[in-house]
């Protein structure tokens, strides 16, 4: 029988962090999707000379990212993350696909009761 230390199933988050974690997860996904839309808008603007999408997706991502920052800091304070871990999670909302990776890592660590 082979055993590993890694458990891919996340245990439920502590009750005091459930609401903050759920808000973070929703905003991480929303910010990631908006950022991918923004990347697509940049491609369309400069490669296809079609700037229409830039007028609204940039603002949408900007607003979602600001809310993401507030929600991430709230979770960081409640879960007592390190400053380095907090800053890395905050920057994750600015790099395409990284907010999805950060969301998974944060969810597993918070559920396990470990600091980031």
Is 103 domain-assigned? yes
At residue 9, the pLDDT reads 53
Is 96 domain-assigned? yes
Is 9 domain-assigned? no
Is 22 domain-assigned? yes
Q: Decide: 61 and 35 in contact? Cβ < 8 Å.
A: yes
Is 1 domain-assigned? no
Is 91 domain-assigned? yes
**Helix axis angle, 98-111 to 83-91, nearest 10°:** 140
CA–CA gap between residue 35 and residue 107 (Å, rounded): 20
How many structural domains does the chain have?
A: 1
Alpha-carbon dihedral sign for residues 24, 30, 36, 39: negative
Q: Provide block-wise average pLDDT over 10 residues at a time, the chain (116 residues).
A: 51 78 95 94 89 88 96 94 94 92 93 86
pTM for the model: 0.83
Question: What DSSP line would sit under 53-91, residue for residue?
Answer: GHHHHHHHHHHHHHHHHHHHHHHHHHHT--HHHHHHHHH
Domain that holds residue 25: 15-111
Is 7 domain-assigned? no
């Amino acid at each position: 029988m082979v055993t590993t230390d890694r458990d891919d199933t996340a245990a439920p988050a502590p009750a005091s962090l459930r609401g903050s974690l759920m808000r973070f997860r929703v905003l991480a996904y929303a910010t990631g999707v908006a950022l991918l839309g923004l990347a697509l808008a940049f491609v369309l603007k400069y490669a296809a000379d079609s700037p229409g999408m830039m007028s609204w997706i940039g603002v949408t991502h900007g607003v979602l990212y600001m809310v993401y920052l507030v929600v991430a800091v709230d979770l960081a304070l409640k879960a007592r993350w390190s400053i380095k871990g907090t800053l890395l999670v905050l920057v994750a909302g600015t790099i395409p696909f990284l907010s999805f990776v950060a969301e998974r890592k944060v969810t597993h660590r918070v559920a396990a009761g470990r600091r980031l």
